[in-house]
């Protein structure tokens, strides 16, 4: 487990106090508003009230008690949505079995993770936190709003449909791990499947079992509904339950995949069992089969330009999104990395260079398209009246490398602000100085009656430094 | 260790090159000849000297012949209309192992050629391991990165780095300085590394025997090299003195010990950096620190000791929980403000070296001046490696490594229109554009 640092405590305290202010509406004045779904609005005011975007227009009136921010020369854009993250996860892979649909990322989230704050400072507000890619059918995901300082329960995105991770290719077959065994530096146990053939079979087997399970329950319910008594209900199966939800279309499949052939296999299997893949994750060779992906109706979520870090990534190209988007595939850029989650704006900008996306198309890959992939576009992903007040103020156009975030809001609350951050730094420096100047812990003096082995010092500085 | 595993090694060694050869064939079209070219009506950012709003740059014989607003176009020159375009010197990433690894992580071990076995390989030369057909070279240069330092790693005396142009069909043909620096991974004072003994002793020199720490072994080897150099010199002066057999390992250390060849020390923490600098000063070496994660915390020290730094951590997550959120984004600005000599490297594996301009741009977003951000990837790395007389700016007489862009050099939305390396027009096709063209119109 991670240690709760002083910084985290301060941040938690600060954001707690912000929380108290959240009732106060915020009027952002005179910004260049990148709505994403409705173009760019120059010199525009946006009112955040009761956690929502309450109004967009010019010369909006500040409600009583509103905080007004002069955003002249600044840009307002929707909070960035990262469709592939492992942030906050105290565990990523339950990789011991080939099907671990029973495990849930939501059970292992750490809301005090420092990197949440760093992502907020990069304008990112929503993550799709996925299970790892160790097995063909992995665990259940968690979609979160990065409400740093709140308990996990309040970070889970309200109403986001549940999802599940699938994985294909090298990470599953563990060909790389075998090399590690050869080098004598470690070992990963052999596990079925170790080929792409086996991956197809694992999927087929799991969904055949899920179909049988679903049928067993359907029959039980039908008979019970007809008045049958004393029937024994099928045994609840935590592995198959989420797969039945996949079959019924209520749980989204996010499938880690690299090569075109393995993606095509998955689409075929899904079609055969009557469900649709929500997103192909990574999907580095999606550009080779863009028409097939479009026909299936799957989305794709990829890296802007990462490639060549393993064999199955060697044919990746930064034009991937340009090709899939033009073929009609809902396409997004993701980080899969806490460092990159701080600068998805630059990854989006690369798509303008590689393949000639427009600025709005590029912005959509890190905002509204992700919201659509996660089926939360009614709440986030663009600046529209009635949507959640998840926005960020940038000091320049967010597709410029020279720009950075001034403030990030979620549900109308300030979760990051450059100004407050500077104040926190000062506080931290002062606290450090105070601690360094403080008397070291000493045993209580005998004159106060507590001899050797008495209670520890109650000096407050000692308390903090523990 | 285990027999079946050894069989598997043999199988892998047999199989991999065959399996990979088809996939690793890359597409780096050969540049044209050294022609006479005039880029006219362009915005020119020479890096040294003032920006020219609308000017002409002339290249011939691989060299910049003229730069300025009122420059005449030589007769017979190919004329490129640079209206609306900008000309910059090519960028340099001094922190790569370009050409030495193709697929750097596990799974393609046969494509990894960046680290020799054993601890003592000062005579291992990157220039003989660089694959000029690596697909990384094409995709890196088309963003305007025209030359890089490629260095070996591993062991303690890792070998010699090469400064190469990112164009050419042979590694020697790409070399700007084939042996530009030696690399020392300093063993920590506290203990050994890499098994501590170098049992397989690379090269001809066995590890000094008998329970010495790796650091003491290193010092001993340098002392041996000094003695060897003195003995060779003595024989040259007086042939009646004994003539030593040539020792390639010790001989390769002589330019290092004379301070003529700089030494790249990979070091991240404050203590690692100080250990490296102290070691270099004790041994009379010319150190360059690469990595340098903590450099921003010790600027006074770096200025006082006049140590140049290749900062590779701009995009790294802050290393301490109580570091400011932008600790590494803002690090380069701190180095510049304090007067530390530095260059920015991408800090990325070879496939992603092409992010170098955006890395420098990130430093500029967090306090580094725009001008310094460009210098940190052009002029300053050239100065650190002693090649600023040839590279790093658009000045008459310098090698014509330059890029003609649609906009600001460091912006991710900027595209490249023309690229010249060593005065040769480099086609902008890459493995990536080839695949794009192949699949983009598939129905």
CB distance from B212 to chain A under 8 Å?
no
CB distance from A398 to chain B under 8 Å?
no
Query: Which helix (H) or strand (E) is B270 found in, with range?
Result: helix B270-283
Question: Whole-angstrom Cα distance, residue B42 to residue B291?
Answer: 36
Q: Are B356 and B377 within 8 A, CB to CB?
A: yes
CA atoms within 13 A on the CB side of A7: 20
Question: Whole-angstrom Cα distance, residue A278 to residue A375?
Answer: 10
Question: Whole-angstrom Cα distance, residue B128 to residue B126?
Answer: 5
Query: Which helix (H) or strand (E) is B21 found in, with range?
Result: helix B3-24
Q: Is residue B10 domain-resident?
A: no
CB distance from B435 to chain A under 8 Å?
yes
Q: Is residue B42 domain-resident?
A: yes
| Chain B residue at shortest CA distance from A338 | B317
Average pLDDT over residues A329-344: 98
| Chain A residue at shortest CA distance from B410 | A401
Q: What is the dihedral of CA A170, A173, A174, A179, to 10 degrees?
A: -90
CB distance from B411 to chain A under 8 Å?
yes
pLDDT of residue B106: 65
CB distance from A401 to chain B under 8 Å?
yes
pLDDT of residue B80: 98
pLDDT of residue A12: 43
Residues 6 or more apart whose CB falls under 8 angstroms from that of B60 comprise: B34, B35, B36, B37, B74, B77, B423
* A455 min Cα distance to partner chain B (Å): 31
CB distance from A418 to chain B under 8 Å?
no
CB distance from B255 to chain A under 8 Å?
no
Of the three residues B368, B391, B414, the one that is the final residue of a domain is: B391
Which two structure tokens, joined as six digits, stand for A125?
A: 């507000």
Q: Is residue B138 domain-resident?
A: yes
Q: What is the dihedral of CA B245, B246, B249, B254, to 10 degrees?
A: 110
Which two structure tokens, joined as six digits, stand for B243?
A: 């003539």
Average predicted confidence (pLDDT) for chain B:
90
Would you place residue A10 in the very low, low, confident or very high pLDDT band (cuts 50, 70, 90)?
very low
Q: Are B17 and B108 within 8 A, CB to CB?
A: no
Question: Whole-angstrom Cα distance, residue A407 to residue A67?
Answer: 13
Q: Are A356 and A338 within 8 A, CB to CB?
A: no
Q: Is residue B187 domain-resident?
A: yes
Looking at the fold, whether B64 and B184 belong to one and the same domain comes out as no
pLDDT of residue B12: 39
- Provide the domain count of chain B: 2
Q: Are B94 and B431 within 8 A, CB to CB?
A: no
Which domains are assigned to chain A? 1-79+382-436+454-466 (2.30.40.10), 80-380 (3.20.20.140)
Per-residue pLDDT tens digits for A200-231? 999 999 999 999 999 999 999 999 999 999 99
Q: Mapped to the 3 state alphabet, what secondary structure does chain A carry? A: CCCCCHHHHHHHHHHHHHHHHCCCCEEEEEEEEECCCCCEEEEEEEEEECCEEEEEECCCCCCCCCEEEECCCCEEEECEEEEEECCCECCCCCCCCCECCCCEHHHHECCCCHHHHHHHCCCEEEEEECCCCCCCEEEECEEEECCCCCCHHHHECCCCCCEEEEECCHHHHCHHHHHHHHCCCCCCCCCCCCCHHHHHHHHHHHHHHHHHHHHHHHHHHHHHHCCCCCCCCCCCCCCHHHHHHHHCCCCEEEEEECCHHHHHHHHHHHHHHCCCCCEEEECCCHHHHHHHHHHHCCEEEECCCCCCCCHHHCCCCCCHHHHHHHCCCCEEECCCCCCHHHCHHHHHHHHHHCCCCCHHHHHHCCCHHHHHHCCCCCCCCCCCCCCECCEEEECCCCCCCCCCEEEEEECCEEEEEHHHHHHHHHHHHHHHHHHHHCCCCCCCCHHHCCCCCCCCCCCHHHHHHC
CB distance from A288 to chain B under 8 Å?
yes
- Look-up of token digits 């954001």: A15
- Strand partners for B424: B34, B421
Phi, psi of B80 (to 5 degrees): -110, 125
Mutate to test the interface with B, among A260, A314, A347, A356 (most CBs of B within 10 A): A314
- A179 contacts B109? CB cut-off 8 A: yes
| Chain A residue at shortest CA distance from B11 | A182
Q: Is residue B21 domain-resident?
A: no
pLDDT of residue A189: 62
Would you place residue A7 in the very low, low, confident or very high pLDDT band (cuts 50, 70, 90)?
very low
Q: What is the dihedral of CA B319, B323, B329, B330, to 10 degrees?
A: -130
Average pLDDT over residues B34-46: 98
Q: Is residue B7 domain-resident?
A: no
Average predicted confidence (pLDDT) for chain A:
90
Of the three residues B391, B406, B424, the one that is the final residue of a domain is: B391
Q: Is residue B298 domain-resident?
A: yes
pLDDT of residue B214: 93
pLDDT of residue A177: 59
Question: Whole-angstrom Cα distance, residue A350 to residue A318?
Answer: 8
Q: Are B285 and B256 within 8 A, CB to CB?
A: yes
- B12 contacts A179? CB cut-off 8 A: yes
Question: Whole-angstrom Cα distance, residue A424 to residue A83?
Answer: 30
Question: Whole-angstrom Cα distance, residue A125 to residue A117?
Answer: 10
Average pLDDT over residues A226-245: 96
Burial of A83 (0-12, 13-18, 19+ CB in 10 A): buried
pLDDT of residue A118: 98
Which two structure tokens, joined as six digits, stand for A142?
A: 């968690």
Of the three residues B391, B410, B433, the one that is the final residue of a domain is: B391
Parallel/antiparallel/unpaired status of strands B175-184 and B263-267: parallel
Query: Which helix (H) or strand (E) is B402 found in, with range?
Result: strand B402-405
Q: In the predicted model, is pLDDT for residue B91 greater than 50?
A: yes
The CATH number given to whatever domain includes residue B64 is 2.30.40.10
Its ipTM equals: 0.90
Mutate to test the interface with B, among A311, A350, A427, A464 (most CBs of B within 10 A): A311
Query: Which helix (H) or strand (E) is B404 found in, with range?
Result: strand B402-405
pLDDT of residue A22: 52
Please give the distance of CA B298 from its chain centroid, rounded to a whole number: 24
Q: In the predicted model, is pLDDT for residue B344 greater than 70?
A: yes
Which two structure tokens, joined as six digits, stand for A64?
A: 């009583």
pLDDT of residue A37: 97
* B243 min Cα distance to partner chain A (Å): 43
Question: Whole-angstrom Cα distance, residue B168 to residue B133?
Answer: 9
The Cβ of residue A382 has, within 10 Å, a number of other Cβ atoms equal to 20
The Cβ of residue A443 has, within 10 Å, a number of other Cβ atoms equal to 13
Looking at the fold, whether B75 and B152 belong to one and the same domain comes out as no
Looking at the fold, whether B399 and B410 belong to one and the same domain comes out as yes
Q: Is residue B58 domain-resident?
A: yes
Q: In the predicted model, is pLDDT for residue A446 greater than 70?
A: no
Question: Whole-angstrom Cα distance, residue A329 to residue A302?
Answer: 12
Q: Are A433 and A442 within 8 A, CB to CB?
A: no
Q: In the predicted model, is pLDDT for residue B210 greater than 50?
A: yes
For residue A177, list chain B residues with Cβ-Cβ distance below 8 A.
106
The CATH number given to whatever domain includes residue B226 is 3.20.20.140
Percent of chain B scored above 90 by pLDDT? 84
CB distance from B355 to chain A under 8 Å?
yes
Say which range, A277-286, A358-367, B189-198, has the weakest mean pLDDT.
B189-198
CB distance from B362 to chain A under 8 Å?
yes
Q: Which of B134, B189, B194, B192 is nearest to B158 (CA)?
A: B194
The Cβ of residue A115 has, within 10 Å, a number of other Cβ atoms equal to 21
Q: Which of A387, A382, A389, A385 is nearest to A51 (CA)?
A: A389
Q: Is B66 helix (H, G, I), strand (E, B) or coil?
A: strand
- B326 contacts A339? CB cut-off 8 A: no
Burial of B402 (0-12, 13-18, 19+ CB in 10 A): buried
For residue A317, list chain B residues with Cβ-Cβ distance below 8 A.
431-432, 435-436
Looking at the fold, whether B288 and B350 belong to one and the same domain comes out as yes
Per-residue pLDDT tens digits for A148-179? 999 999 999 999 999 999 999 999 988 765 54
pLDDT of residue B25: 52
Burial of B251 (0-12, 13-18, 19+ CB in 10 A): middle
pTM: 0.90
Find residues 17-76 of chain B whose CB sits inside 8 Å of chain A.
20, 23-24
| Chain A residue at shortest CA distance from B439 | A288
Per-residue pLDDT tens digits for A401-445? 999 999 999 999 999 999 999 999 999 999 999 999 998 877 766
| Chain B residue at shortest CA distance from A112 | B321
- A307 contacts B439? CB cut-off 8 A: no
Per-residue pLDDT tens digits for A112-152? 999 999 999 999 999 999 999 999 999 999 999 999 999 99
CA atoms within 13 A on the CB side of A387: 24
Looking at the fold, whether B407 and B379 belong to one and the same domain comes out as no
Q: In the predicted model, is pLDDT for residue B192 greater than 70?
A: no
pLDDT of residue B108: 84
Would you place residue A185 in the very low, low, confident or very high pLDDT band (cuts 50, 70, 90)?
very low
CB distance from A305 to chain B under 8 Å?
yes
Q: In the predicted model, is pLDDT for residue A32 greater than 50?
A: yes
Looking at the fold, whether B38 and B123 belong to one and the same domain comes out as no
For residue B350, list chain A residues with Cβ-Cβ distance below 8 A.
308
Looking at the fold, whether B188 and B208 belong to one and the same domain comes out as yes
pLDDT of residue B2: 35
CB distance from B375 to chain A under 8 Å?
no
More confident residue, A26 or B21: A26
Question: Whole-angstrom Cα distance, residue A348 to residue A303?
Answer: 9
Domain that holds residue B133: 91-391
| Chain B residue at shortest CA distance from A416 | B325
Which two structure tokens, joined as six digits, stand for B2?
A: 């285990």
- A401 contacts B412? CB cut-off 8 A: yes
Looking at the fold, whether B362 and B422 belong to one and the same domain comes out as no
DSSP class of residue B350 equals G
Percent of chain A scored above 70 by pLDDT? 87
Q: Are B373 and B363 within 8 A, CB to CB?
A: yes
Average pLDDT over residues B367-383: 98
Looking at the fold, whether B380 and B282 belong to one and the same domain comes out as yes
The total number of residues written for chain B in this structure: 443
Would you place residue A54 in the very low, low, confident or very high pLDDT band (cuts 50, 70, 90)?
very high
Question: Whole-angstrom Cα distance, residue B211 to residue B197?
Answer: 8
Would you place residue B110 in the very low, low, confident or very high pLDDT band (cuts 50, 70, 90)?
confident
For residue B135, list chain A residues with Cβ-Cβ distance below 8 A.
308, 314
More confident residue, A56 or A449: A56
Which of A114, A323, A404 is closest, CB to CB, to B321? A114
Looking at the fold, whether B427 and B344 belong to one and the same domain comes out as no
Q: In the predicted model, is pLDDT for residue A448 greater than 70?
A: no
- B439 contacts A288? CB cut-off 8 A: yes
Looking at the fold, whether B99 and B74 belong to one and the same domain comes out as no
CB distance from B326 to chain A under 8 Å?
yes
Looking at the fold, whether B290 and B312 belong to one and the same domain comes out as yes
- A181 contacts B351? CB cut-off 8 A: no
Per-residue pLDDT tens digits for A64-99? 999 999 999 999 999 999 999 999 999 999 999 999
Residues 6 or more apart whose CB falls under 8 angstroms from that of A27 comprise: A45, A46, A47, A48, A60, A62, A63, A66, A67, A68, A69
Burial of A431 (0-12, 13-18, 19+ CB in 10 A): middle
Q: In the predicted model, is pLDDT for residue B343 greater than 80?
A: yes
- Look-up of token digits 């290719």: A169
Biggest CA pair distance of chain A: 85
Would you place residue A23 in the very low, low, confident or very high pLDDT band (cuts 50, 70, 90)?
low
Would you place residue B109 in the very low, low, confident or very high pLDDT band (cuts 50, 70, 90)?
confident
Which of B9, B325, B354 is closest, CB to CB, to A121? B325
């Amino acid at each position: 487990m991670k240690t709760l640092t002083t910084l985290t405590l301060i941040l938690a305290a600060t954001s707690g106090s912000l929380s108290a202010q959240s009732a106060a509406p915020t009027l952002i004045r005179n910004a260049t508003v990148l709505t994403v779904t409705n173009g760019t609005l120059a010199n525009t005011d946006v009112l955040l009230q009761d956690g929502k975007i309450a109004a967009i227009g010019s010369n909006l009136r500040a409600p009583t008690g509103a905080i007004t921010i002069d955003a002249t020369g600044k840009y307002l854009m929707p909070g960035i949505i990262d469709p592939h993250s492992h942030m906050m996860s105290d565990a990523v892979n339950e990789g011991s079995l080939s099907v671990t649909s029973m495990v849930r990322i939501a059970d292992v989230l750490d809301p005090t993770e420092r990197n949440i704050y760093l992502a907020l400072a990069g304008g990112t507000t929503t993550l799709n936190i996925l299970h790892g890619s160790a097995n063909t059918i992995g665990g259940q995901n968690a979609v979160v709003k990065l409400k740093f300082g709140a308990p996990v329960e309040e970070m889970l995105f309200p109403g986001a449909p549940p999802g599940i991770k699938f994985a294909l290719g090298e990470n599953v077959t563990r060909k790389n791990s075998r090399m590690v065994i050869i080098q004598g530096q470690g070992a990963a146990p052999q596990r079925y499947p170790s080929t792409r053939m086996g991956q197809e079979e694992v999927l087929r087997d799991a969904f055949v079992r899920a179909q049988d399970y679903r049928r067993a329950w359907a029959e039980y319910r039908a008979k019970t509904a007809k008045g049958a008594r004393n029937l024994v209900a099928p045994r609840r199966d935590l592995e198959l339950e989420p797969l039945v939800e996949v079959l019924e279309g209520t749980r989204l499949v996010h499938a880690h995949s690299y090569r075109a052939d393995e993606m095509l296999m998955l689409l075929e299997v899904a079609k055969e069992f009557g469900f649709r893949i929500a997103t192909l994750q990574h999907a580095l060779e999606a550009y080779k089969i863009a028409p097939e992906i479009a026909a299936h109706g799957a989305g794709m979520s990829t890296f802007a330009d990462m490639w060549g870090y393993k064999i199955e990534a060697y044919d990746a190209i930064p034009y991937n999104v340009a090709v899939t988007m033009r073929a009609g595939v809902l396409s997004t850029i993701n980080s899969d990395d806490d460092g990159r989650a701080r600068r998805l704006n630059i990854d989006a900008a690369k798509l303008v260079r590689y393949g000639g996306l427009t600025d709005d198309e590029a912005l959509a890959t890190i905002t509204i398209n992700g919201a659509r992939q996660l089926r939360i576009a009614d709440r986030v992903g663009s600046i529209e009246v009635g949507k959640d007040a998840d926005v960020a103020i940038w000091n320049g156009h967010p597709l410029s490398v020279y720009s950075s975030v001034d403030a990030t809001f979620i549900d109308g609350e300030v979760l990051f602000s450059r100004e407050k951050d500077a104040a926190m730094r000062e506080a931290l420096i002062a606290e450090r100085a105070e601690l360094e100047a403080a008397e070291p812990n000493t045993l209580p003096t005998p004159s106060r009656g507590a001899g050797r082995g008495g209670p520890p010092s109650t000096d407050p500085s000692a308390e903090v430094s523990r | 260790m285990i027999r079946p595993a050894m069989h598997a090694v043999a199988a892998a060694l047999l199989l991999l090159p065959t399996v990979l050869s088809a996939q690793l064939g890359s597409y780096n079209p050969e540049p044209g000849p050294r022609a006479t070219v005039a880029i006219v009506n362009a915005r020119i950012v020479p890096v040294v000297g003032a920006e020219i709003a609308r000017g002409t740059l002339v290249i011939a014989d691989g060299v910049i012949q003229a730069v300025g607003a009122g420059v005449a176009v030589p007769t017979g020159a190919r004329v490129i209309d640079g209206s609306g375009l900008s000309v910059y010197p090519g960028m340099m990433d001094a922190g790569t192992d370009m050409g030495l690894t193709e697929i750097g992580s596990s799974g393609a071990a046969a494509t990894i050629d960046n680290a020799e076995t054993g601890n003592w390989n000062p005579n291992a030369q990157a220039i003989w391991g660089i694959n000029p057909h690596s697909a990384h070279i094409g995709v890196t240069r088309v963003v305007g990165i025209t030359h890089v330092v490629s260095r070996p790693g591993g062991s303690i005396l890792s070998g010699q780095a090469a400064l190469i142009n990112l164009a050419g069909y042979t590694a020697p043909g790409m070399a700007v300085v084939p042996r530009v620096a030696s690399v020392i991974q300093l063993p920590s004072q506290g203990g050994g590394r890499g098994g501590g003994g170098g049992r397989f002793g690379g090269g001809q020199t066995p590890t000094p025997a008998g329970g010495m720490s790796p650091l003491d072994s290193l010092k001993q080897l340098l002392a041996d090299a000094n003695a060897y150099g003195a003995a060779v010199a003595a024989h040259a002066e007086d042939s009646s003195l004994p003539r030593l057999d040539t020792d390639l390992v010790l001989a390769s250390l002589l330019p290092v010990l004379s301070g003529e060849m700089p030494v790249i020390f990979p070091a991240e923490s404050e203590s690692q950096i100080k250990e490296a600098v102290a070691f270099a000063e004790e041994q009379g070496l010319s150190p360059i620190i690469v990595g340098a994660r903590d450099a921003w915390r010790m600027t006074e020290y770096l200025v006082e000791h006049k140590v140049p730094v290749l900062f590779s951590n701009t995009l790294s997550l802050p290393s301490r929980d109580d570091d400011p959120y932008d600790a590494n984004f803002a690090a380069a600005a701190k180095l510049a403000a304090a007067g530390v000599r530095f260059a920015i490297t991408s800090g990325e594996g070879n496939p992603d070296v092409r992010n170098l301009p955006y890395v420098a741009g990130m430093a500029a977003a967090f306090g580094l001046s725009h001008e310094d951000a460009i210098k940190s990837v052009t002029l300053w790395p050239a100065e650190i490696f002693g090649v600023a007389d040839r590279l790093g700016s658009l000045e008459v007489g310098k090698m014509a490594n330059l890029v003609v862009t649609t906009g600001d050099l460091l912006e991710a939305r900027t595209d490249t229109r023309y690229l010249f390396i060593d005065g040769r027009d480099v086609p902008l096709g890459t493995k990536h554009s080839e695949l794009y063209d192949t699949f983009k119109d598939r129905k």
